Amino acid sequence: MVIKLGRVEKYLIKKIDEEGALHIPLIDPENVAPEKAAEISVIAERGGSAAVMIGGSTVASTSKLNRVIKLIREKVSIPTILFPNNLSGISPYADAIWFMSLLNSLNPYYIIGAQVLGASAVREYGLEPLPLAYLIIGDGGAAGYIGQAQPIPYDKPEIAALYALAAQYLGMRFVYLEAGSGAKNPVPVEMIALVRKTTSNPIIVGGGLRHPDAVEERVYAGADIIVTGTTIEETMDVEKSIHLFVDSVKRGFSRRCERRM
């Protein structure tokens, strides 16, 4: 039997193949009103972001989440992807869901329990599941705390690489290196580089990425998708912020190509 990829997964893979690396903004419906979320999404689509992720570690109100996604979908055609913290993070209005397992949690609920409870809703809502290994690195922020993670130390890239390889062998098709929203220090470039060497799955990197240079270095090291949340939610100039991030992703990738030549 051949695995049939869904529409959003095919789109992301094709876009990574064509453009090298992508930027995706993350919107937390607990922090951002629907109108503002839609405005950010329109600017992101125009600025070249590949999709919009919606979720946050403390999302408790699915109706608030639904309102945000409905409005975003009215305004943009790039895919909306749920980034669920729990069952409350599942909405029928999105295109896809990171069907994620927090592999370095100490609590089996975040590794497989919530997934078992949420699977039938994902099917019923027709959400496309994107199988994702979620790894908490360093500080871990609220995601690490809520998810009861045993964070991988910043200076132990080999542990992250082994998790990523094990996840690939288990059939997961994306790996997310998460330093935690608003983390003081993002995922180190050395860790991304080693994970890149170890797995062939697309690598998503997020948490604490505020400066375009930091984004560029992480794409150069091998990140395929860069996620930024806080900076875009808090900036007074969303357009400029999106432009800087999308541009730094491109620069990081073209430097990576030059290195290969």
- How far is 187 from 184, CA to CA, in rounded Å? 10
Q: Look at residue 194 and give its three-state secondary structure.
A: helix
Distance in Å, CB of 208 to ligand 1GP, minimum: 5
- How far is 163 from 35, CA to CA, in rounded Å? 39
Under rule CB under 6 A, residue 79 binds ligand 1GP = no
The two three-digit tokens of residue 237, written as one number = 């100039």
Under rule CB under 6 A, residue 209 binds ligand 1GP = yes
Distance in Å, CB of 3 to ligand 1GP, minimum: 27
Distance in Å, CB of 81 to ligand 1GP, minimum: 12
Binding ligand 1GP (rule: CB under 6 A), the pick from 86, 91, 105, 181 is 181
Kindly indicate which of the ranges 8-16, 152-160, 189-197, 206-214 contains the residues binding ligand 1GP, using the contact rule CB under 6 A.
Answer: 206-214
Kindly indicate which of the ranges 90-98, 107-115, 157-165, 221-229 contains the residues binding ligand 1GP, using the contact rule CB under 6 A.
Answer: 221-229
Distance in Å, CB of 141 to ligand 1GP, minimum: 7
- Written as one string, the DSSP assignment of 12-57 is HHHHHHHHS-EEEEEE-TTTS-HHHHHHHHHHHHHHT---EEE--T
Under rule CB under 6 A, residue 138 binds ligand 1GP = no
- How far is 82 from 92, CA to CA, in rounded Å? 10
Distance in Å, CB of 137 to ligand 1GP, minimum: 10
Binding ligand 1GP (rule: CB under 6 A), the pick from 45, 139, 178, 217 is 178
Distance in Å, CB of 205 to ligand 1GP, minimum: 8
Distance in Å, CB of 120 to ligand 1GP, minimum: 26
- Written as one string, the DSSP assignment of 7-22 is HHHHHHHHHHHHHS-E
Under rule CB under 6 A, residue 105 binds ligand 1GP = no
Binding ligand 1GP (rule: CB under 6 A), the pick from 229, 246, 251, 253 is 229
- Element at 129 (helix H, strand E): strand 128-136
- Nearest CA to 193 out of 233, 164, 152 is that of 164
* Contact criterion met (CB below 8 Å) for 173 and 201: yes
Instruction: For the segment 22-41, give every residue that binds ligand 1GP (CB under 6 A).
Output: 26
- Cα–Cα–Cα angle for 96, 163, 223, nearest 5°? 60
Positions in the binding site for ligand 1GP (CB under 6 A)? 26, 143, 178, 181-183, 206-209, 227-231
